């Protein structure tokens, strides 16, 4: 009889993004609250954690992760953007990455 895997063995590790030599785990939750309001994502600088809503569609998930990564980058490098400007930049970067995937991969290969 086959041995049943433990629940712990079935848990996937959190993906991690690395920014300026800092690791930011990406955690998915059903509900996120920020400043009293429901949010799609949150970047917590003190814990270096990015949290995103677990029910996001794939395109929205990518945009929200990029939006939160931009918050981390702004904090690390002392950049100030409004929430609206951050969101517009996230939309633009999502579009760039999606529409230029092969070229972006080629660029990244040159860094290795």
For residue range 51-78, list pLDDT tens digits in order. 999 999 999 999 999 999 999 999 999 9
Give residue 11's pLDDT: 65
How much is the mean pLDDT over the chain? 90
Structurally, at CATH architecture level, domain 14-111 sits in 2-Layer Sandwich (3.30)
**Cβ neighbours for 20, distance < 8 A, ≥ 6 positions apart:** 76, 77
pTM of the prediction?
Answer: 0.84
What was the pLDDT predicted at 112? 79
- What percentage of the chain exceeds 70 in pLDDT? 89
Q: For residue 3, what pLDDT is reported?
A: 47
Q: Which residues, other chains included, contact 73 with Cβ-Cβ below 8 Å and sequence gap of 6+?
A: 19, 79
């Amino acid at each position: 009889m086959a041995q049943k895997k433990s629940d712990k063995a079935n848990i996937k590790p959190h993906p991690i993004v690395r920014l300026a030599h800092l690791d930011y785990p990406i955690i998915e939750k059903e509900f996120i609250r920020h400043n009293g309001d429901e949010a799609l994502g949150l970047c917590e600088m003190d814990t270096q954690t990015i949290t995103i809503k677990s029910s996001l569609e794939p395109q929205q998930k990518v945009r929200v992760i990029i939006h939160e990564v931009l918050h981390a980058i702004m904090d690390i490098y002392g950049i100030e953007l409004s929430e609206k400007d951050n969101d517009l930049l996230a939309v633009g970067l999502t579009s760039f990455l999606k529409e230029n995937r092969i070229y972006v991969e080629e660029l990244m290969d040159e860094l290795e």
